[in-house]
Amino acid sequence: MKKHLLSFALFLGLVAAAAEPSFAARAISGQEQRQDDHDKDHRKGQRAAHDPQKRLDAMAKELDLSSKQKDKVARIFQEQQQQMQALRGQSGQDRSQHKAQAQSIRQSTDKKLKDVLSKKQYAQFEAKRQERMRQMGNRPGGKQRGGFERRDTGSRS
């Protein structure tokens, strides 16, 4: 009788061991599928955020831009995009030079936008920008790219 119980226990152990990898593989496959779905949704959201036409249309709606303003803003953003792409294509610059030039391009774009938008529209634009910056800072994983928080470099007493 003990032999039969031992054989039955061994048999159950083998069946369980054979089923375990299959179960684990299905569980991992399900996790991978959920991650793939999440990644697709995330990339879709990023594409929408980086689509210049969608960005312009949303801005035109939020700020109630005239068609003339919308055309001018489109040209300003297109010029900024070209300048930034050219800057990215440059090699041999150190990081501080690159950041300074990018900042200069952004400041130039802001000045042009100020000339095209009314004071009220520009204030709304700036408020929306600040809100986006706040949201980016509140994302899980960190305050800036790479997940690192900016440290206060002010004097301490």
Contact 143, 149 (CB under 8 A): yes
Gap between the Cα atoms of 96 and 109, Å rounded: 20
Span 110-135, pLDDT tens digits:
999 999 999 999 999 999 999 989 98
Span 31-79, pLDDT tens digits:
556 666 656 655 554 554 568 789 889 999 999 999 999 999 999 999 9
From residue 134, alpha-carbon distances to 17, 102, 124, 131, 145 in Å are: 51, 21, 15, 5, 14
